[in-house]
A and B are shown apart, each in its own frame.
Chain A
Amino acid sequence: MQLNTSTSRTWLAIRRGHRARPAEWLAEKLIFLVSLSAILTVFLIFIFVGREALPIFLGKMNSSLVGKVIPPEEMDKLTPEALRKYLDLTEAQFKEMDRETMKLLMELKVETADEAPKDKDAAVNTTAWRYLIFPYQWSDYEKPVSIWQPISQIPKYNIAPLIIGSIKTTLIALLFSVPLAIGASIFVSQLAPVRLREIIKPAIELLAGVPSVVLGFFALIVMASVLQDIFGYESRLNAFVAGIALGLAVIPVVFSISEDALTSVPRSYTQAALALGSSRWEAAWKIVLPAALPGILAAVILGFGRAIGETMVVLMASGNASIVSWNIFDSTRTITATIAAEVLEAVVGGPHYRMLFMTGALLFLVTFVSNLVSEIVIHRLKHRMEGKVA
């Protein structure tokens, strides 16, 4: 008994000098549970997306439209095991299903085969990796192409145009927003008079409050026309318009984090620089900025994550044509927009559905790796700046 109370006391008062009150203990445990559930949710999402995409990654999916067809009249000639395999049923499903239903399924197989296009590509498994990445000359095409045409007689799932689209818009967004956001954060945190700072800072951060669908709509209706008048490009909606609109969404993210990083550099650094005769600009540029570099890098990486994952803006403003082109004034299609536009109509469990999940998993992987790399880089950088050996 004695032992019991003493252990429970240490359990209750978790490394604290006094005994925790029951309410505190409860609150602490609840918060712990909530944070645990957040981690669990992320993990479950990962599992879910991964599971749906796995057959594609492993090359186990077969989208070939041609298969051996057995006429329903010959149903009785098949052994139960062969029939089960032919109809692609699990043992349990097979046991439950009655004869009529199985016959219906067999008739359907014949129907599907009759409807299949008489095309030399009909037998191709278009979800195999070589068709997903490399150009291929489909029948009816004059030259090998990388093309995303999932709803087609021969579904074509080449992801090259989508990946190029995502990279293109993200790069434009970052090239536009990062210099602006970092410049603004240096100005606001180091150079601006206090009164001006009180106006600029909330104004920029207000941009974060604009819902992305509103931003997308604005880009679609207003920005596309205005930018077309200025640059005179041919297709009204393109990677450039989408990238600029996306940049507007990214600016507040990069701005507020890098502003925080700059502000948290000790005041004494600036004072020392000023005392040694540098101008305010020199102090900001040569002393404070390098000291805040890890934080600014983190801001840029977060901005990258926001840009590559943003959906609504690109869906509305990019024109969504899936073409392989690095020209920024060509209309483009990103991974996110593709998923958003297509997943609701895809046959659940079919090749198209799994392909969309596969692209989603790729996106997840890219952001995950970029976050990981940034963590490592920032960690090293911090160590070096503090004079420790990494």
Chain B
Amino acid sequence: MKAIDKQISKLTVATALLLLGNAVHAGTITAKGSDTLVILARKWAEVYMTKKPETKIQITGGGTGTGFAALQNQTTDLCNASRKIRPREIENCIRAFGKRPTEYKVALDGLSVYVNSENPIKELSLPQVEAIFTGKIKNWKDLGGPNAPITVYSRENSSGTYEFFKENVLKGRDFVASAQTMPGTAAVLQAVAKDKNGIGYGGAAYGTGAKHLLIKKDEGSPAIEPTEETVVKGTYPIWRYLYIYVNPALDKGEVAAYLNWIRSGEGQKLVKDVGYFPLPEVLRQK
């Protein structure tokens, strides 16, 4: 009898431990993905955790592609993405858990085109920007500037910003091969600040060191400065959404509550602090 008692008590301990383990896990949300989003995601997590201390949120970067791979392996609950999911990645997810991941828009980002502050050029049209970055215009004098070759600075092709710029500004064309690629927006900005013939692109919120150009949609339209107002209204032509993707099977309980909070007025208030722009009212969660 004693032996059985012992067995039972062992079992109880084991069950208790198991339950405890589950309980701990249930309170933890993991988010992985884009490096662009990682600072914003950390901010959200930090504020949300002070509000709801029982929820633990872990944020990791590594890149949008890494995030999708983790989503597909189900090693993360949320995937932060600075670009839309690709068909191949949807396919992998369907193979892994039989469903298309749900997409949530969580913030807006405006992209600026930077030049050196000594550069006399103040505004460019989208077709001109395209021609510069695809290598059709090679000298500043063709744009009304000094007679000097243009040095093009770009981002690494792993970056969501790179892809966005290529799809939307270059209309899918390739960047000129001589474009120098920098590991981050700050590096692009720094390179442009040091190179008086340089031109680069990156988040509108990255401020100092270089001049942000005003952008015209086409030759006839007015030149617009990238500010919160123009980006949120959509009058500034180069902007994108930032996303969070989630496995629909997990989109309930705490995860759903967290996602709703991010898209509510309270969550969106934090977006500006880290340099992106909040969603327009219509897209927010009431």
Contact = CB atoms under 8 A, between A and B. Distances in A.
Interface of A: 93, 97-98, 100-101, 104-105, 108, 111-112, 115, 117, 140, 145, 147, 149-153, 156, 161, 220, 225, 234-237, 315-316, 319-323, 330-331, 333, 341-342, 344-348, 350
Given A98-B98, A344-B63, A344-B66, A108 B90 contact: yes
A237 B180 contact: yes
Interface of B: 62-66, 68-69, 86-92, 94-95, 98-100, 149, 151, 156-159, 162-163, 166, 172-175, 177-183, 187, 191, 194-195
A112 B90 CA distance: 10
A117 B91 CA distance: 19
A322 B149 CA distance: 18
B156 A104 contact: no
A342 B158 contact: yes
Given A108-B94, A152-B174, A320 B87 contact: no
A341 B63 contact: no
Contacts, number: 109
26 contacts: A101-B94, A104-B94, A104-B98, A104-B100, A108-B94, A112-B88, A140-B173, A140-B174, A149-B157, A149-B174, A151-B166, A152-B166, A225-B194, A236-B195, A319-B181, A320-B181, A321-B180, A323-B177, A333-B181, A341-B183, A342-B156, A344-B63, A344-B66, A345-B63, A345-B65, A348-B69
Contact of B156 (A115, A145, A341): A341
Contact of B183 (A316, A331, A345): A316
B178 A321 contact: yes
B180 A341 contact: no
Nearest to A153: B172
Contacts of A153: 172
> Which of B99, B187, B194 has its CB near the most chain A CB atoms (within 10 A)?
B194
A345 B64 contact: yes
Contacts of B179: 321
A332 B86 CA distance: 29
A111 B94 CA distance: 14
Contacts of A341: 156-158, 181, 183
A72 to B, nearest CB: 13
Given A237-B180, A320-B156, 16 more contacts: A98-B98, A104-B99, A111-B87, A112-B87, A152-B172, A152-B174, A156-B174, A234-B149, A237-B191, A319-B181, A320-B182, A321-B177, A331-B180, A342-B157, A344-B62, A345-B65
